Amino acid sequence: MIQAIKLEKMLKKKVMGCMIQVNLLTEEEESPVIPIDTEVEEILIQYNDVFQEPQGLPPKRECDHAIHLKSGAEPPNVRPYKVPHYKREAMESLIKQLMENNEIRKSISPYSSPAVLVRKKDGSWRLLWTTES
C-alpha cells in the first residue's frame, strides 16, 4: 500500500507505475422482482423488433471513422498478458464462439486490448476486455 502523499510526489516526478484497486466482493442478495407497468409492457411487445438483443455486428456504414496518428508515431510495445493453460482453451473457445456469432471480428489494428477470463458464480467463464488506455 502507498500513502496518498507518496503517490502525489511520485506523480509529480512523472514516475511510471501500475495502480491496482482491490475491492471485497460480497454475495449478491436477490433483488426483488419489480413488475413492469402494463402500458410499458404493451409498448415493449408492440416494438419488440427494436428491443431485441443484437445479433452480430452493426451493418456497414458509408464512412468508417479512424484516428489518424502523427507521422512516425508507433503503438507502444506492450506484451500480452500471460494466460495459464487451463484458461487458454476456455478463452480460445469463447473468442471462437463470439466470432462465429459475428459479435466480434478479426482486427488488423496494430493496437490491442487486454483480455482476461473471470470465473462466474456458476463456474463458467466470462471474457472481459477493455479499450481504455
* pLDDT tens readout for residues 12-67: 777 666 666 666 666 666 667 788 889 988 988 898 888 777 777 777 888 877 77
Rounded to 5 degrees, φ, ψ at 106 are -65, 135
CA distance 121 to 30: 14
Here the cell at position 103 is 459479435
CA distance 107 to 38: 44
64 exposed, middle or buried (CB, 10 Å; 0-12, 13-18, 19+)?
A: exposed
pTM as predicted: 0.48
